[in-house]
């Protein structure tokens, strides 16, 4: 799949909030060397990072789609303001940075892994077996955790969330 970067006009076929070139500059400025490799891997990672933003934050964002009949992604938005009350338009810097951060994570792990469940359908978080009848242990997750926390990227997204102020929020 080709990388099609949203340019702020509500493109119907966009699949990324950031370009490889801008992501390269973002990570280079921060001395992050893990963002390396071939162009196709970086493109795929940016698509995955964008998809993650659209899935995880859908329904929780401030404002409204700017081009609701045509745009493929959740941004650009209207009636969106930062914690200082300044209007945000197009693809805000923190959104593009979050996309880069999620893309980097996606290179080494699945952002939304399917949970391991036992035969009863409960989410299994730890299982150990031993020799003999004495050592079977199973620990289950209480509730359902849809996604793992990614503190830096998640914090970059908080400015766009309904009910968020300037406080950092790990979701």
User: Residues 119-146: pLDDT tens digits?
Assistant: 777 666 667 777 766 776 766 566 655 5
- Residue 78 domain-assigned (yes or no): yes
- Residue 40 domain-assigned (yes or no): yes
- Residue 108 domain-assigned (yes or no): yes
- Residue 81 domain-assigned (yes or no): yes
167 has a pLDDT exceeding 50: no
- Residue 132 domain-assigned (yes or no): no
User: pLDDT-based confidence at 170, cuts 50/70/90?
Assistant: very low
164 has a pLDDT exceeding 80: no
Question: Please, which contacts does 61-64 make with residues 24 or more away whose CB atoms are closer than 8 Å?
Answer: 61/160, 61/161, 61/162, 62/160, 62/161, 62/162, 63/160
- Residue 90 domain-assigned (yes or no): yes
Determine the structural domain holding residue 153 and report its residue range.
20-112+147-160
- Residue 42 domain-assigned (yes or no): yes
| Region 74-82 average pLDDT | 96
Give the separation between CA 12 and CA 10, rounded to whole angstroms.
6
Work out the mean pLDDT of the chain and round it to a whole number.
88
- How many folded domains does the chain comprise? 1
- Residue 9 domain-assigned (yes or no): no
């Amino acid at each position: 799949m080709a990388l099609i970067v949203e340019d702020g006009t509500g493109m119907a076929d966009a699949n990324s909030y950031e370009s490889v070139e801008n992501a390269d500059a973002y990570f280079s400025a921060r001395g992050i060397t893990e963002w390396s490799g071939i162009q196709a891997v970086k493109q795929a990672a940016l698509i995955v990072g964008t998809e993650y933003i659209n899935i995880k934050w859908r329904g929780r964002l401030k404002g409204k789609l700017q081009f609701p009949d045509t745009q493929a992604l959740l941004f650009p938005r209207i009636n969106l303001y930062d914690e200082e009350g300044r209007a945000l338009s197009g693809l805000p810097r923190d959104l593009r940075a979050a996309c880069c951060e999620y893309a980097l994570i996606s290179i080494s792990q699945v952002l939304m892994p399917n949970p391991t469940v036992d035969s009863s359908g409960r989410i299994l978080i730890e299982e150990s077996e031993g020799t003999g009848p004495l050592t079977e242990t199973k620990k289950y997750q209480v509730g359902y955790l849809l996604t793992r926390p990614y503190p830096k990227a998640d914090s970059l997204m908080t400015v766009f969330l309904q009910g968020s102020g300037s406080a950092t929020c790990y979701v």
